[in-house]
Structure formats: structure tokens, C-alpha cells
Amino acid sequence: MTAKKHVAVLMGGWSAEREVSLVSGAAVCKAIEELGHRLTAIDVQRDTIGILQALTMQAGGKPDVVFNALHGRGGEDGCIQGLLEFIGIPYTHSGVMASAAAMDKPLTKRIVGTYGVRCAEGAVVTRDDIVKNGYPLPPPFVIKPTNEGSSVGVKVIQKGDNLDIVEEDSWIYGECVLIEKYIPGHELTVALLGNKGQARALAVTELRPHQGFYDYTAKYTDGKTDHLLPAPVPADVYDASLRMAETAYTALNCQGAARIDIRWDDSLPGTKGLYFLELNTQPGLTPLSLVPEQAAYLHMSFSELIAWMLEHPTCPA
């Protein structure tokens, strides 16, 4: 029987994904209580002293482990991980370096590319570069912030679309912009559970939004996207997607749960149309999230998934 622990759940935060994090955190808190652990839930604000006080003084002292249910900047990019390392509390998901690297999309592509993972063609440019010289690729292409998750700020630009988007005041994601060649075809995703850099890819899901692409709304609004599990793709494409996910996970030295996103251009032969997009070290745990869905497909309940994650934390050196 697993020993009962004092578990602190970090959720909320101040990123663009705050509301999603609160939903993930609420689901995690419920599971932790069902598992019989002692729970301290912390709605994280941008206040280092407040976070330290909550972790070391609330409910009778430091927890045995922190469940990091934060998403986006601050909680997913190595910042909160560094704080937890400093005060010596084990925490779920990946460590400082893997978290920071995975949150930086261009850096992620450079790292996984050295392991033979095929990535979409792209370039990082500044908004000023775009104003002076135009875009580095002809449409269709994809505009992405370099360090946001959940498809926040992502735009697909087709021929004839407005090209002034990064010049407008509505662009709030910094001066650097990632421009990638648009890969037509299918949206695939693979969830992983791993320990000490060794990963097990769970399954492949194909995501079919009812309109547009798999953006923030399609991800978190019930009824907007069909999840096809297992993905109805050829066996060689399915297996290659699993291997691509495990290679990327290992390349970044991830820990615990993660998820990678892939595009598959089925007009190309065999597995040549598979392209890595990005790796998420803090995948969502909402009712519409993909990691719990793939775990359930393999007969692992949500509570069992949370228990596994608590038993495989990143431990400070």
C-alpha cells in the first residue's frame, strides 16, 4: 500500500493559461483527496514570498511533494521548478532544464533535430524584421509566439490573408516571432509517461476540429473537436509517431507526463509526412485533456494516473 503523503497542488498562476490551470488543478485536487493524501491547494500569484510562505507554512510545514498543475509562463518554463529545487521539495513533471528548453519552441526544434526528428521548416524573426523585409516564408505559413503553450497566439496564414498581424497592437507575445511552413494534413498527438529520461508513449490520437485548426478554443471547448483514439492512420505512421514522441522526450531529458504534437501530411509516402511540432511538459488535466484520455484508453483511471505522477517526481539534487 502506498504511503500517504502531504501533497501541495500549484495551480492558477499568471500566464495566458491561468483558467485552464485552475480546471486542471481542481481535477488533480479531487483525485488526491480520493487517494487519501493530505492536500494543500495553492492558487499561485506572481509573489515569490507568498509562494514560499504557502509551501513552507500552510497546513503544518513543507509538503512531501508538489503537484505542479500550472500551465504556461512561470509554471512551465523552469521558473517555479527552480524555486522548488532551491527549497528542496520534489515536484511532478520535468526539471528546470527540460522545462525551460521545451517552452522555447525554436530551441526544442534544434535539440530534437539533432536526434533525427523531422521538424517543420521555420525561422525566428523580430517584428521589426517583418516590417522591413516581410515574412521569411511565402503563405501558407504558421505564426507562433516562441514561448507560449495551448496554441495561445498561434495563427495560420493562407494566401490572401491579412499579413499585418504581428504589427498590430493585439500581438502581445514579444518581439520575436516563430514562422513555420504550414504542414497540410492531420493533427496527431502522443502522450507519454516516463522516468529519468526513459519514456513510454501511450497512444496516438488524431484531432479533428470542426472548423479551423486545433487552437485554444478547439482544445478547451466541449464539442469543438473530435478525438479519434486510436488514430485511424497506417500502422507504420502510428508506430513512427510513438517513436518520434519517445525520441523527443529523451532528447529533452523530460520527467513524468508529457505530450508531443505532430502533423502528418498524408500526401507523402510512408512516414515521410510526419513532422514534430512541439513538446508539452505540463499537459492539461481537464475533462477534455489528452493525457488522461490516452491513459484511460490503456485502462488507467484518472486517480491512478495522478498516483503514478506523484510516485515519479523530479527530485532536487
Catalytic residue among 150, 151, 241, 289: 150
**Of 77, 261, 263, 293, catalytic:** 261
88 noted as active-site residue:
no
CA dist 226 → 71, 128, 278 (Å): 23, 39, 21
What is the C-alpha separation between 154 and 220, in angstroms, rounded?
A: 15
Q: Is 278 a catalytic residue?
A: yes
To the query of whether residue 118 is one of the catalytic residues in this protein, the response is no
Check 95, 259, 263, 293 and give the catalytic one: 259
Please say if 223 is a catalytic residue: no
Catalytic residue among 85, 280, 289, 293: 280
Q: Is 153 helix (H, G, I), strand (E, B) or coil?
A: coil
47 counts as catalytic: no
From the list 85, 187, 278, 293, the catalytic residue is: 278
- Strand ranges inside 62-197, DSSP E: 65-68, 122-126, 141-145, 155-157, 176-181, 186-195
Cβ–Cβ contacts within 10 Å for residue 158, how many? Answer: 9
Active-site annotation holder among 75, 194, 273, 284: 284
Q: Which residue out of 17, 76, 148, 187 is catalytically annotated?
A: 17
Catalytic hit among 220, 238, 249, 275: 220
Active site residue 162: no
* 259 is known as an active-site residue: yes
Q: Which residues pair with 188 in a beta bridge?
A: 206, 262
202 vs 179: CA distance, rounded Å: 30
Active site residue 284: yes
Catalytic machinery residues: 17, 150, 220, 259, 261, 278, 280, 284
